[in-house]
Amino acid sequence: MHQEPNQTPAPTDTTHLNLAAVVAALPDAIDQAMRNTLPGMYTPQLAADLAAAMTAELRNPQPADCPVFPGLCTETMPDHHDHSNHEHTVTNKQGEHLLDVGFVQLSDGGPAIVYIGGMSHEDYLPEEVRPATAKLRQLLDEADAIADRLLADRTEARRG
């Protein structure tokens, strides 16, 4: 098989790419590609910046949104079957859990549920009450928003 100089043969097994080798080759590949395809825009710094951004993305990929509840489900494992969001919470002055809202939809086929829970006791001075209740109102508004989203998704699924 004839091979041009500086060309790497195509891998025979593309399911096991060597990330370190790809990252190592990326700066030169981007530099050459930009020189060839964007000669009017090419600068060594622009090529280096693009290579650095692509390298960072390869080394630290961002989890994809859940396809079932995008923007709501915070599960990050690909192809997960249980859906949830436990990120809305209020803590007391000591940082302890006071109240939380969220949602769960399990793979058993049951309905998505919104939960409100975790009450604990805390004493507030009169001047501390309004900031504390404002946080609680905001949290309860989040519970309403989650419920609205789930109801809209359910309505849309019945139409579709």
What are the tens digits of pLDDT across the range 108-148?
888 888 887 776 666 667 788 788 889 889 988 998 998 99
pLDDT of residue 145: 92
Would you kindly state where each structural domain of the chain is located, as residue ranges?
Answer: 1-62, 83-159
Instruction: Kindly list the distances between the CA atom of residue 3 and the CA atoms of 9, 14, 28, 86, 96, in Å, as whole numbers in the listed order.
Output: 8, 20, 19, 55, 65
Using the predicted structure, report yes or no on whether residue 96 has a pLDDT greater than 60. yes
CA–centroid distance for 138 within its chain: 23
CA–centroid distance for 91 within its chain: 24
Residue 110, CB-side half-sphere exposure with 13 Å CA sphere? 10
pLDDT of residue 26: 86
pLDDT digit string, tens, across residues 36-52 = 998 888 899 988 888 88
